[in-house]
Structure 1
Amino acid sequence: MTHPADRPISVPAYPQWPELSAEEGAALKERIKSLLAEQEAVLVAHYYTDGELQALAEETGGCVADSLEMARFGAESRAKTLVVCGVRFMGETAKILNPEKRVLMPDLKSTCSLDEGCPPSEFAAFCDAHPDHTVVVYTNTSAAVKARADWVVTSSIALPIVEHLAARGEKILWAPDKHLGRYVQEKTGAEMLLWDGACVVHEGFKAHALERLRALHPDAAVLVHPESPEGVIAQADVVGSTTQLIKAVVELPHPEFIVATDTGIFWKMRQLAPNKVLLPAPAAGEGATCESCAHCPWMAMNALHNLEQVLLIGDQEIQIEPEIGARARIPIQRMLDFARERGIGHRSSD
């Protein structure tokens, strides 16, 4: 495993949005719907964003999905403008796949600790030091890092792609999430060098606290995203992407679920399985004042308030240098082609 230079990652405070009455909220949504229609725009929202944004995306013919389906939807949409509610790498991916379209985000500062922890120059040096390795990067990376990769993967497709590469005898250079990388390495037996990065949300889950919660809810199934630490993954009944965890809540017979991923996912889980009890996996340290703080502060930068503003002003537009975008498109398209050929990730098969 490589250890990038120590760098503090500045985690923002959770934004405080003005409270809206039911009437104000309804009026705001209607204004946004009108703006989307006027601009031939479509809303693409991640499962970790606020439930109101997810609902609005569905009501207006947009998409609520994990990052693989978001990428596919954006590439297939006929809309002239894509409004991506998520974090910046998701907007960049939409622009890479659709350079001719306008791609807006409510706030371009909504980045990601994995992206921040993998600077392109340091990553390029890592790649240069291991030229005999196939470079596989998680989608939670910048366009410049993707441009250096042979493959881009999401959590829902990482295992089959790495299995495919390992079967061909290829050695893997993996970035940036060390927990997901370790999990993939363990499951596939691939020879892998791992970048030392982590998600601030998923790394916060505590194995010892999860053990205590499981003891209180012995009939609950434990659902874990593979960006979580090894001790948390070891206790899981299901390890998977956001889409796979949602599917588990719907299909498994358990009345209760302990969920170790961003709590934004609970909106979709409750929509599809309203009778199931959902418990957030403990993410608080000893002496903390919250049971679980498992919500990405960058995802929380997406709200109805700034969604309306970006449609009115258009100032939060993703721009990518054409050369970098063209290079980054190759490994992303390679992933999408792999998924299509094997029927991975489509909603009908998830």
Structure 2
Amino acid sequence: MSAIQTFDNLDYAFPAKPKALTEEQKAEYRARIKSLLEKHNAVLVAHYYTDPEIQALAEETGGCVSDSLEMARFGRDHDAETLIVAGVRFMGETAKILTPHKTVLMPTLKAECSLDLGCPPQDFSDFCDQHPDRTVVVYANTSAAVKARADWVVTSSMALELVEHLDSQGEKILWAPDRHLGNYIQNQTGADMIMWQGACVVHDEFKVKALQDLKKVHPEAAILVHPESPQSIVAMADAVGSTSQLIKASQEMPNETFIVATDRGIFYKMQQLEPNKTFIEAPTAGEGATCRSCAHCPWMAMNGLEAIANALETGGEQHEIHVDPELAEQAMKPLDRMLAFSAQLKR
């Protein structure tokens, strides 16, 4: 592994949680949003990690609840003129790159991602320049500028297969930004990889000893782990995979109880599909301890009903995603490769 500067320990300025709404206020905002979506020929696209009420609203209004790859596909293929992306900033950027002719709004442009923040474009470009013989593969959780510097963009649902393919062609990989996902892929494939040293604030906080103790309390439970988690957590897993792969595992595995090591926003879909099964959060340090995310991305939590309504009503600089056309054209190349490779996998 290359000895480079680690950015994942930056003291991120975490956002405040949206103010709590009464049930009456929630009902009013839901009704307003439904009306505004129709008025603006808009569709709501939400990530699995957003709060349950946002995912439910996306489903009720004919939108999409999915991982980042399916969000990108859905937004590209939908006939709505406006996309409102409930997720984090890189997801809005990706939607704009894929559909430059559409208006792309976000509930807030301040919804960041620690993997994106921890991979500054100029520092990453310099790192790539130091290794010109390597194929640059970046995770979707990066800025448009980082994607533009890459040969390939991948999501966690297809990263393993893509690296296997590149390795079979004799290519050496420069991977960014999540070191845990990179290490998992390297261990699975044996590929020649060097890593950028980023990490997700949610997945990095799962604790082995606490997970071992929880497993003793629920010995019948299967452990589901996202590969952005540390290797010691992955080693305890009964199934490892992306958000969509973990949801599928919760449906297909015979266990009635699951301990889930990823953002707790995923529980909405798991419980919706398997209402008779029990899902338990994998432990972090806990509220009031050293935990900063406590199994829920603080930026994903910014996608509240009030913010969605404001975005649809006002648009403008506070909500609309813009990507420089020249940068978008460059970033589109690895994104196109990703979509084409993903389509091949589905055949």
Place the TM-score, normalised by the shorter chain, in its bin.
over 0.9
Structure 2 match to 1:332: 335
Structure 1 residue identity aligned to 2:330: R
CA deviation after TM superposition for structure 1 residue 5, in Å = 5.7
Unaligned stretches of 5+ in structure 2?
none
Q: After superposition, where does 1:252-331 map in structure 2 within 5 Å? A: 252-284=253-285, 288=289, 293-315=294-316, 316-331=319-334
SS in 1 for 2:258: strand
- 2:232 matches 1:231: yes
Question: What is the CA deviation profile of residues 268-295 of structure 1, one whole-angstrom value per residue up to 9, with x for unaligned ones?
Answer: 11111111111100011698398x8100
SS across alignment from 2:107: coil
| CA–CA separation in structure 2 for the residues paired with 1:242 and 1:26 | 29
Q: 1:27 Cα shift?
A: 2.2
Q: Which residue in the other structure is 1:348 paired with? A: none
Q: What's the secondary structure of 1:318's corresponding residue? A: coil
Deviation at 1:13, TM superposition (A): 4.1
User: Alignment partner of 2:138: what SS?
Assistant: strand
Map 1:24-173 → 2, pairs under 5 A? 24-173=25-174
CA 102–121 in structure 1, closer or farther in 2 if over 3 Å, else same: same
Displacement, 1:149? 0.3
* Separation in structure 2 between the aligned mates of residue 152 and residue 299 of structure 1, nearest angstrom: 22
Which residue pairs with 1:18 in the alignment? 20
Partner of 1:210: 211
Task: After superposition, give the CA deviation of every residue in 1:193-228 in whole Å (9 maximum; x if it has no partner).
Answer: 100000000000011111111111100000000000
Q: CA deviation at 1:19?
A: 2.0
- Equivalent-residue separation in structure 2 for 1:2 and 1:68 (angstroms): 31
Tell me the amino acid that sits aligned with residue 319 of structure 1: H
How far residue 4 of structure 1 moved from its aligned partner, in angstroms, is: 2.3
Q: Distance in 1 between matches of 2:51 and 2:210?
A: 26
SS in structure 2 opposite 1:94? helix
SS of residue paired to 1:278: strand
Distance 1:59 1:167 in 2: 44
Measured against aligned partners, the alpha-carbon deviations of 1:10-43 in whole angstroms (never above 9, x if no partner) come to 141441423222x332221111001001101010
Aligned pairs, how many? 342
For residues 76 and 93 of structure 1, the distance between their equivalents in structure 2, rounded to whole angstroms, comes to 14
Task: Please give the alpha-carbon distance, in whole angstroms, between the structure 1 residues aligned to 2:279 and 2:286.
Answer: 21
Contact 2:18 2:302 in 1 (8 A): no
Contact 2:180 2:229 in 1 (8 A): yes
What letter matches 1:338 in structure 2?
F
SS across alignment from 1:320: coil
- What TM-score do the two structures reach when normalised by structure 1? 0.95
In the TM superposition, what is the alpha-carbon distance from 1:141 to its structure 2 partner? 0.3
Cα deviation, 1:300-335, whole Å, max 9, x if unaligned, reads 010001100010000210011111100001101100
Answer yes or no: is the 8 Å Cα contact 1:9–1:113 preserved in 2. no
Counterpart amino acid of residue 232 in structure 2: G
Cα distance change, pair 166–318 in 1 and its aligned pair in 2 (3 A): same
Segments of 4+ moved more than 6 angstroms:
none
Preserved CA contact (<8 Å) 2:239 2:246: yes
TM-score between the two structures when normalised by the length of structure 2: 0.95
Distance 1:181 1:47 in 2: 22
CA offsets 1:140-168 (integer angstroms, 9 cap, x no match) = 00000000000000000000100000000
- Residues 46 and 85 of structure 2 are in contact (CA less than 8 Å); yes or no, is this contact kept in structure 1? yes
Report SS of the residue matched to 1:12: coil
Q: Is the 8 A contact 1:262 1:296 kept in 2?
A: yes
Partners of 1:92 and 1:320 within 8 A in 2 = yes
Distance in 2, matches of 1:246 and 1:231, equals 22
Q: One-letter code of the match for 2:298?
A: P
Name 1:347's counterpart in structure 2.
none
Cα offset for 1:8? 2.1
In structure 2, what is the Cα distance between the partners aligned to 1:32 and 1:24?
Answer: 12
Q: Any unmatched runs of 5+ in structure 1?
A: 345-350
